[in-house]
A and B are shown apart, each in its own frame.
Chain A
Amino acid sequence: PAVLLDSSSSLLFSLLLAQLPVFTSASPVPQRRPTDMDKLSNQTKNLMKLTQELLREHAFDSDVEPHRFRSLPEMSNRSANDFNNLELKPTLSQLHADLKLYEHHFEWLNKVSKKHHHPGVPKLVEMIREMKSLISLLHRQMQRVEAPRVAPATPSLPPHLPYQFDVLQSSHELLQHFKLFCDWAYRAFISLKPKVTAVQ
């Protein structure tokens, strides 16, 4: 029996040894630490994902765009060729101001959604939290490259939404605009990344 015991334990030991390379290969490889620009682009992508989820789950998709919000950041003058000559500081400042403006709009939407017991409120709250985090990260980056802070435009918000339908429609309009803004902002961050490295 003692021989059996010895052989069994040695077999077990050798099996464990055989597994060792598997465990070691599964351990994470040391990676390059993400820069603030990486974090900015990742958080923007995450916000875009949250926006899409909210649109899919809770917004009211209509072909008629009500155009209720007239103070949203201007996107009609942004085209693909602009990325070829995007300047670091003005773009960061503008993105910060735009995000602040969206933050105002979404806080308003959160308030009216709560009033109408909209089921998308928890995700909306999460989105606003993410947005605030992105704004503060962007502000830190702006300070690092000495980009000036631009005062955001004053938001003009609808005074009163009497029906649930209006809330859904407003939600759809805001989220649609914000999704496209995030798409643009993400591309801007990855485009500006080499420029930040050059400044620092």
Chain B
Amino acid sequence: MLGFLSSPVCLTVIWFLSWSLHHSCAQISTDEVSGVHYGHLGKNVTLACGKSQRIPVVWHLNRSSVLPWHKVASDGALVLLRVDHSAQGIYSCYDNRGLLLHSTKLRMGYPPGLLSISCQVPSHAHVRCSWVESIKTFLPVQYNASLGGIGQDWKPCVVDVSRKHCDVYDPPFWQTIHTLRVTVTNALGSETTDARLKLHELLKPDPPESVLVKEIEGYPRRLMVLWKSPPSWPLHDSFPLLFQIRYRPVGSVYWSEIFSEHSPAVVFDALAGHLHQVQIRAHDEVNTESQWSEWSPMLLIQPWTAVYTTTDPPTEEPFQDYDFPFNEKPETSTEKSHNPALVDVGNLVLVILLVLFSVVILITVPSLIYVLWVRQRRRDHGTKQELTSMVKMKSMPI
């Protein structure tokens, strides 16, 4: 037996077998997988055995003779019936002597469907549109996108395939309606989706950046808010922004707000000695139909608090001697009154003063009228007495 195995004939057979086996495996994995065949999930797929006319042929899937539901056509083509994902793999056909004739890779999926497109317009100079596929295709896709309008050229929208969005820089913004056209293509077909956009209504700046809130020394009811315009917004004078600042003492449910066109802005009616929440957002100052940005992250700040060295703390703010560094005084409005527990002491004092003033007026005016009336009455009474005495004097016998 050992002698037979070591005989030259046997060694030649073993060498030939191992060479042919190795060779055929290499062929399947590289050269002979002639391409990728794409099939529509749920439908029949026909795989031809190359250009070979040699029949009968034997089909293998991933080197296994177990195949999904199928039939073999008269020309040797393999017809896979109602194919699902499990049918994917490398299909090889062999002749009756086991010689590899053809090999192909099968990938299953769907043709693309319509896209659901949404666009963000962070400034007049930038439009970003992103999309979601209505159908998961399971196949590699390509996108082609462009922005156009009535009577204007199409401007390419630069696609980021992995993030499924595209960007248009410096679009012709002042158009009533724009159309974003995205064509998605895969091996099974293509689909074009048009989205009609009103850029002036979609305009929504990014939130202001580098927001900072500071206390103002010597002013227990003031806060200074500083910020920078969003970097995506054009710096040019032609694009003014309006900023809304909202603030409230921690624990209150009602916000107060001020509007300003420039940084910094000063809050004049903070609640002394309380921690405040402050946020800011931006809006295009010209186009009222555009949207407010999102609010900036919440900042917490407490107004300046005096460190008292004497027993009698000052009760009034030193308004008069402060040289205010800003040329504008923001308008202040409060949406609703504060929580009763947090009623502003300053406002309360003002209300009391007003009430006192009204009471004084109400007392003074009737008193004056009464005094005048009394004086008049006295005068009349005096005249009457004089007349009576004169009559009496006249009637007296001389």
Contact = CB atoms under 8 A, between A and B. Distances in A.
Interface string A176-200: 1100110110111011011000000
Contacts of B372: 5
Interface of A is mostly: helix
22 contacts: A1-B374, A1-B375, A5-B375, A12-B364, A15-B360, A52-B288, A65-B177, A67-B150, A67-B151, A75-B172, A76-B152, A80-B170, A80-B239, A83-B234, A83-B238, A84-B236, A177-B176, A180-B200, A183-B174, A183-B200, A190-B237, A191-B238
Contacts of B239: 80, 83, 187
Interface string B212-240: 00000000000000000000001011111
A35 interface: no
Given A1-B371, A5-B368, A15-B357, A80 B234 contact: yes
Given A8-B364, A8-B371, A186-B286, A79 B172 contact: yes
Interface residues of B, number: 37
Given A183-B200, A183-B286, A80 B368 contact: no
A27 interface: no
A81 interface: yes
B92 interface: no
Given A65-B176, A183-B200, 12 more contacts: A11-B364, A52-B288, A63-B196, A76-B149, A76-B172, A77-B172, A79-B173, A80-B123, A80-B125, A80-B170, A190-B237, A190-B238
Q: Which of A8, A52, A173, A183 has the most CB of B within 10 A?
A: A183
A65 B179 CA distance: 12
A17 interface: no
A14 B79 CA distance: 107
B116 interface: no
Contact of A5 (B149, B176, B360, B371): B371
Nearest to A4: B371
Q: Which of A12, A52, A81, A187 has the most CB of B within 10 A?
A: A187
A152 B346 CA distance: 61
A28 B151 CA distance: 51
Given A4-B371, A75-B174, A80 B240 contact: no
B171 A79 contact: yes
A75 B151 CA distance: 10
B170 A81 contact: yes
A78 B367 contact: no
Nearest to A12: B364
Nearest to A49: B288
A8 B367 CA distance: 8
Q: Which 9 A-B residue pairs are closest in the complex by CB-CB distance?
A: A76-B152, A187-B238, A80-B124, A80-B125, A83-B238, A191-B238, A75-B174, A180-B174, A79-B170
A170 to B, nearest CB: 13
Interface in B227-270: 234, 236-240
Nearest to B148: A76
B205 to A, nearest CB: 13
Q: Which of A75, A177, A181, A191 has the most CB of B within 10 A?
A: A75
Contacts of B360: 11, 15
Contacts of A48: 286
A13 to B, nearest CB: 11
Interface in B55-102: none
A9 interface: yes
Nearest to B289: A52
A7 to B, nearest CB: 10
Interface residues of A, number: 37
Interface in A40-65: 45, 48, 52, 63, 65
Given A75-B175, A186-B286, A83 B200 contact: no
Contact of B125 (A9, A76, A79, A193): A79
B109 to A, nearest CB: 34
Contacts of B14: none
B73 to A, nearest CB: 51
Contacts of A176: 176
B52 interface: no
B18 interface: no
Q: Which of B175, B286, B288 has the most CB of A within 10 A?
A: B286
Contacts of A83: 234, 236, 238-239
B172 A78 contact: yes
A48 B285 CA distance: 13
Contacts of B357: 15
Q: Which of B176, B239, B364, B374 has the most CB of A within 10 A?
A: B176
A15 B149 CA distance: 68
Contacts of A177: 176
A122 B123 CA distance: 36
Interface in B146-181: 149-152, 170-177
Nearest to B235: A84
Contacts of B170: 79-81
Contacts of A1: 371, 374-375
Contacts of B238: 83, 187-188, 190-191
B364 A184 contact: no
